[in-house]
Amino acid sequence: MSSMKISNVTKNSLEKMFSENKRFDGRKLLDLNNLEIEYNVSKKAEGSARVRLGKTEVIVGVKLGTGEPYPDSPDKGNLMVSADLLPMASPRFESGPPKFNAIELPRVIDRMIRESGMLDLGKLCIKKGERVWTLFIDIYPINDDGSLIDAAGIACIAALKNARLPGLTKDNFPDYDKKTDERLPLSKETYPLSFTFFKLGDKLILHPTREEEESCDSRITWGISKWNKQYMINSCQKGLEVTFNKKEIIGMMDLLPKKYDEIIKLIGEKLNE
């Protein structure tokens, strides 16, 4: 996510450690970071979650409104994902108009969710061609210590699972004072997750700290889900200048199902209420 550069001394030290399959926090190169999930952190959102992945902390809120459908999908609801990267979360973020990071993050998450089929937008249609639910997913990093895309992805899925539809007035406008128990039309078997691999020298790492992330020369984010017992690649986003070779890509494909199941096992009880 960052264009900041770390000192050559630190980068060389990390490269040496990576060559020995070591990291400063004691993890191996492809070990996942500690994960915590907290629900209902916003009283104004229809669904919300706070995720801590290592020292990275993200809050996601899901809001629902009604409006006209897009012309090319008159019988489907709308999905909009946004991110607010404030300087208080990281020295990498700047005030002012959205920079590339603030545009890239929500787009990567949007594709991960949309292409997985987790959300049935057809069931968010209120009246074909006239009124549909619009789903807003807002991402707020509180502290960015690396792995922000992956942390935000987990928080988005948790917030979606936590969300409830508000009531409707007779004119099909949201009645936020009328609470319902109706959940979003989500698949019960498809949970999309993102995994971002970073590369330093010839070594790949997962869930880097900010220091590790800023030392790396390349990254690639995969959106993955599991449907009908098959692992599906739903999206891919390449970052930074250095390329990945065929052997590295094949290695990621072999590893992704294992890491996906590892995280699902960690968060499964909280997602499958």
Residue 69 lies in a domain: yes
The span from the CA of 264 to the CA of 250, in Å, is 22
Looking at residue 13, which CATH number applies to its domain? 3.30.230.70
Instruction: Examine the pLDDT at 152 and tell me if it is beyond 90.
Output: yes
| Alpha-carbon distance values, 143 to 1, 51, 154, 209, 213 (Å) | 14, 11, 15, 12, 15
* pTM given for the model: 0.91
Q: Is residue 83 part of a domain?
A: yes
Note the pLDDT of residue 92.
74
pLDDT in tens, 164-178: 999 999 999 999 988
Tokens coding 144: 């960015």
Q: Could you report the per-residue pLDDT of 5-60, keeping only the tens digit for each?
A: 677 888 889 999 999 999 999 999 999 999 999 999 999 999 999 999 999 999 99
In a domain, 146, yes or no: yes
- Give the range of the structural domain holding residue 172, as residue numbers without chain letter: 8-268
Whether residue 2 lies inside any domain: the answer is no
What's the mean per-residue pLDDT of the chain?
A: 91
More confident call, 96 vs 85: 85
Asked, for residue 189, whether it belongs to a domain, the answer is yes
If phi > 0 it is left, if psi is from -120 to 50 it is alpha, else beta; for residue 147 that is left
Query: For residue 85, what are its two tokens?
Result: 């990267």
User: Does the residue 173 lie in any domain?
Assistant: yes
Q: What is the average pLDDT across 79-94?
A: 84
Q: Is the pLDDT of residue 150 over 70?
A: yes
What proportion of the chain, given as a percentage, has pLDDT over 90?
A: 76
* Number of domains forming the structure of the chain: 1
190: confidence class by pLDDT, cuts 50, 70, 90: confident
| Whether the Cβ atoms of residue 50 and residue 143 lie closer than 8 Å to each other | no
Kind of pairing between the strands at 78-83 and 131-143: parallel
Q: Is the pLDDT of residue 272 over 80?
A: no
Instruction: Let me know if residue 273 belongs to a domain.
Output: no
Q: pLDDT per residue over 214-265, tens digit each?
A: 999 999 999 999 988 899 999 999 998 899 999 999 999 999 999 999 988 8
**pLDDT score at 85:** 86
- Give residue 121's pLDDT: 95
15 assigned to some structural domain: yes
